[in-house]
Amino acid sequence: MNSDSIVLGGGCFWCIEAVFRRLPGVLRADSGYAGGTITDPSYEQVCTGGTGHAEVVRVVYDTDQVSLDAILDLFWRAHDPTTPDRQGADVGPQYRSAIFYRDDAQRSIAEASRTEAQDRFSDPIVTEITPLDTFYPAEEYHRDFYENNPRHGYCRVVIEPKLRKAGFDSAPQR
């Protein structure tokens, strides 16, 4: 098996993690933080909007089963990349749309994907495409949040509709 990873920010990491866990070929979707200025930030620090970090998901995938193009296609469908520092009611720079690439090949694919995706949106895409410095895993209670808390209000009102919009069953996976 050949695996690779990319780090994506598309609003609340609970949503993006739940979406990517359902894509065939994805081995793991890990919530965390990237793009900021302090080492090993906490959720409370990131929530202030002052650390520069975004809530992100590191998507680890089997390159023999799913391509980076397919992952990015789902990324564009799973959130609104035209709203700066916002996804729905989640507002602040920690909720920005971002692709954190590992190398020049990923950067090229991400930029081409953004150009192609622009045709689907009437407003300009504001997604930043930037090199990944460090990915910091989120605290344990954030991991697999949807699967562990399916009756939580946020899960029912925000994540379930997002899963259905992306074409996935909204039932939690176990």
**DSSP assignment string, 34-89:** ES-SSSS--HHHHHTT-S--EEEEEEEEETTT--HHHHHHHHHHHS-TTSTTEETT
Which position among 12, 15, 47, 155 bears the catalytic label? 12
How confident is the model at residue 11, as a pLDDT? 94
14-39 as b/e, with b when 16 or more CB fall inside 10 Å?
bbbbbbbbbbeebeebbbbbbbbeee
In the residue annotation, 12 being an active-site residue is answered as: yes
Does position 174 have pLDDT exceeding 70, yes or no?
A: no
pLDDT of 132-163, one tens digit each? 999 999 999 999 999 999 999 999 999 999 99
Asked if 28 and 52 count as a contact pair (C-beta separation under 8 A), the reply is: no
Task: Identify the CA nearest to 159 among candidates 9, 8, 15, 12.
Answer: 15
How confident is the model at residue 165, as a pLDDT? 86
Domains and CATH numbers, the chain: 3-165 (3.30.1060.10)
| Residue 115, SS3 per DSSP | helix
pLDDT of 21-67, one tens digit each? 999 999 999 999 999 999 999 999 999 999 999 999 999 999 999 99
